[in-house]
Amino acid sequence: MVKAYEVEQEAIRIAKEAMGKGYLNPTAFVPTIEQEQYLNDLDRGDYDCRKGYVHQEGQSHAYDIGYGSRYVLEQMQSAGVIND
């Protein structure tokens, strides 16, 4: 748990540094409707898997990627390959 917190804090520090140097400009990127839908579908797939819902057939490719990625992550964590 402490390791995950340290990693999170380091990520926040790096992001703040990048924003301070102008590498990341939060107002510069405005996603298109298609990009927003893709991200929403990724999140839905991830959420459904995380909550233990059955994979929904006929969804978008982004949904499948989100669901599959979460499933693989959880399998690796339960096998002890990745520690949180």
Q: Specify whether 23 is located in the same domain as 36.
A: no
Q: Specify whether 61 is located in the same domain as 71.
A: yes
The confidence score (pLDDT) of residue 57 equals 94
Q: Specify whether 46 is located in the same domain as 80.
A: yes
pTM: 0.63
Q: What is the mean pLDDT of residues 8-23?
A: 69
Q: What is the CA 79 to chain-centroid distance, rounded?
A: 21
Q: Specify whether 16 is located in the same domain as 43.
A: no
Q: How confident is the model at residue 6 (pLDDT cuts 50, 70, 90)?
A: confident
Q: Domain limits at 15? A: 1-29
Q: Specify whether 25 is located in the same domain as 50.
A: no
The confidence score (pLDDT) of residue 37 equals 92
